[in-house]
Amino acid sequence: MAEIKLLICSDLHVSNSANETVEVASFVDVLKPNEGPLHDLKDFLYQNNLTCDFLVCPGDLGDAADPDSIRFGWKELADIGGICGASVLATAGNHDLDSERLYDKADCKGVLQGLSPQFPVLEQSLWDQYWARHYCIFKRSGIRFVLLNSCGFHESSGESAYGRLSDKTLNDLKNDLLSESCDINVLVCHHPPQGQSEGKQGDGDYIKNGDELIHILDHGNYGDWLVIYGHKHFAKLQYSRGSANSPILLSSGSASAYPFGDYGKDGKNQIHFVTLLVDDFNENGLLGTIESYEWDKVNGWLPSVAEGGLPDICGFGHRPQIRVLCRQIADAFGESDVFLNLSVLIEKFPMLRYLDPIVRKKLEYNLRHVHGIAYHGAKQRFRKI
Ligand SMILES: [Fe+2]
């Protein structure tokens, strides 16, 4: 089965402790290149021979628009992409532009435009399109990508607290989408396209006109959509408001910023490997899995634990009626069966791989309380109680 793998590495917030204007905001410092999550990530990927097709950064390479931190972050991503054998794709975050007007005469947008390799995409024509139209659009490996700049107005005053898309940008994008269809589509932006304030994440920073963006993606016959964004530093997978086929929203965790204390267990540094099933689309629509890893100073990068952020593995694309699925699983137990391994159930019900983490928890609850079947995560098996 053909698959395309993306590594999402967002919100680096590389700090520059030599810049006394701003506080250090992450575990990565341009003055200490041989320590921290990005340095560890290179070792981790290399040692585990982890590869992917695309390395995706949804913004905030640097912190507070410090030019050296942005350049350092982009170079780190280029190095990580090289280790993975991946093309690097990105979009601008609010910290990559002078959103807070800290630098009177500096050309912060020019820092991004002057990065080498070119940011946010290598090809000159796409680079021109991104900076002229606030997005670029292209097809690679059977997937249509849209890199969207939700920070296009951030160097104007009073626009720093949120993302915004103009009507013109959305109209242009809609016309481009209409010109050619593609089954599987990935849109990368920095801000959440819809409100995401639960768990003390704060409100009001979503993209103004983001509902219109989702409406366009959901209502057009442009194929299925995965929207990947950063900014919140809060890893979460959900479906957007809209139809039963609405775009899938992946809010990426931050790879290396200091976690926000208010988030509790969700305040952790995470990266995500997203695997998209390319040739299964006609059968099941857009399906995929997400493997998440988390970092701490003591252990470095490890598969994520169950609590907080995204779990070590989850999926998306299968939106079942939980009670129906639970009944089918219960029926799969024979009279004499006490245990059924998860792998056996996945053979019978392959779509179990593509359940999002919330549905997965509800499934476990329903199986236990309605059917008397408990799931033992460590042993990866179901057991009649
Ligand atoms: Fe950020």
DSSP state of 14: B
Ion ligand 1 contact residues with beta carbon within 5 A: 11, 60
Gap from CA of 304 to ligand 1 centroid (Å) = 20
Gap from CA of 58 to ligand 1 centroid (Å) = 9
pLDDT above 80 for 100: no
Gap from CA of 325 to ligand 1 centroid (Å) = 38
Q: Averaged over 235-248, what is the pLDDT?
A: 96
pLDDT above 70 for 106: no
- Nearest-angstrom CA–CA distance, 238 and 249: 5
Q: How confident is the model at residue 38 (pLDDT cuts 50, 70, 90)?
A: very high
- Nearest-angstrom CA–CA distance, 239 and 179: 26
Confidence at residue 174, expressed as pLDDT on a 0 to 100 scale: 97
Whether the Cβ atoms of residue 200 and residue 263 lie closer than 8 Å to each other:
yes
The pLDDT > 90 percentage for the chain reads: 82
Confidence at residue 314, expressed as pLDDT on a 0 to 100 scale: 96
Gap from CA of 17 to ligand 1 centroid (Å) = 18
Gap from CA of 205 to ligand 1 centroid (Å) = 12
Which ranges in the chain belong to alpha helices (H)?
37-47, 67-84, 108-113, 124-133, 167-179, 210-219, 281-284, 322-332, 342-348, 357-371
Confidence at residue 22, expressed as pLDDT on a 0 to 100 scale: 82
Gap from CA of 179 to ligand 1 centroid (Å) = 34
Gap from CA of 120 to ligand 1 centroid (Å) = 17
Gap from CA of 251 to ligand 1 centroid (Å) = 12
pTM: 0.96
Q: How confident is the model at residue 378 (pLDDT cuts 50, 70, 90)?
A: confident
Q: Which of 6-15, 27-36, 107-116, 227-236 has the lowest mean pLDDT?
A: 107-116
Gap from CA of 161 to ligand 1 centroid (Å) = 12
pLDDT above 80 for 95: yes
Confidence at residue 136, expressed as pLDDT on a 0 to 100 scale: 98
pLDDT above 70 for 104: no
- Assigned token pair, 177: 């989408």
Gap from CA of 243 to ligand 1 centroid (Å) = 29
Confidence at residue 109, expressed as pLDDT on a 0 to 100 scale: 87
Gap from CA of 238 to ligand 1 centroid (Å) = 20
Q: How confident is the model at residue 99 (pLDDT cuts 50, 70, 90)?
A: low
Gap from CA of 305 to ligand 1 centroid (Å) = 23
380 backbone φψ class: left, alpha, beta (φ>0; ψ -120 to 50): left
List of E strands, 213-285: 224-229, 236-239, 248-251, 269-277
Confidence at residue 204, expressed as pLDDT on a 0 to 100 scale: 85
pLDDT above 70 for 146: yes
Q: How confident is the model at residue 102 (pLDDT cuts 50, 70, 90)?
A: low
Q: Averaged over 140-145, what is the pLDDT?
A: 96
pLDDT above 90 for 101: no
Q: Averaged over 210-236, what is the pLDDT?
A: 96
Gap from CA of 232 to ligand 1 centroid (Å) = 6
Gap from CA of 356 to ligand 1 centroid (Å) = 24
Q: What's the chain's average pLDDT?
A: 93
Gap from CA of 185 to ligand 1 centroid (Å) = 24
- Nearest-angstrom CA–CA distance, 41 and 58: 17
Gap from CA of 95 to ligand 1 centroid (Å) = 7
